[in-house]
Amino acid sequence: MNQLIVDEALSWASPVATPFRYGACVKGVGVDCAHLVKVSLEAAGASFPRGLMRYDRGNHFERMVTVLRTVCVEVSPSQIEGGDILCFNAPLIPNHMGIANGNGGMIHVYAGGIGKVTETPLQEPWLGFMKHVFRLQVQP
């Protein structure tokens, strides 16, 4: 489990939950799912190429998955640990990402639901929409 990733993601949910804002990344003001994943991984030492989060609706998810493959290893959904990055493709929430919290849930943000960074149980329908699970590679 990578507690640094979980702790950073949770810091966006408390004491004031950061609302969903597409393309934003300011704690307490707004963030989207991909930026929440990015800043949480950076808190654990991951480094990303400049311009990674350049937004041009439609392909930022694919770009993020490609970059995740350079700093993470893909693991089976049956091996989820806290700090793992979860990627989904749900009908009403396509191209979504969250962070496993290590307690059977995930930390994420999207426009639906309560519309701010929150913890949600990792169960159906989310499990059925999961496409990738990534784990940050620990550098020696």
Q: Is residue 86 over pLDDT 80?
A: yes
Find all residues with CB under 8 Å of 121, minimum gap 6, and list them: 104, 105
Beta strand pairing call for 85-88 and 30-31 = unpaired
Phi first, then psi, for residue 69 (nearest 5°) are: -65, -20
Residue 113: predicted pLDDT: 74
pLDDT (mean) for 4-22: 94
Task: Tell me the pTM.
Answer: 0.91
Per-residue pLDDT reduced to its tens digit, 92-104: 777 899 999 999 9
Per-residue pLDDT reduced to its tens digit, 29-67: 999 998 999 999 999 999 877 766 555 555 667 777 888
The domains found in the chain, sorted by start residue, are 3-136 (3.90.1720.10)
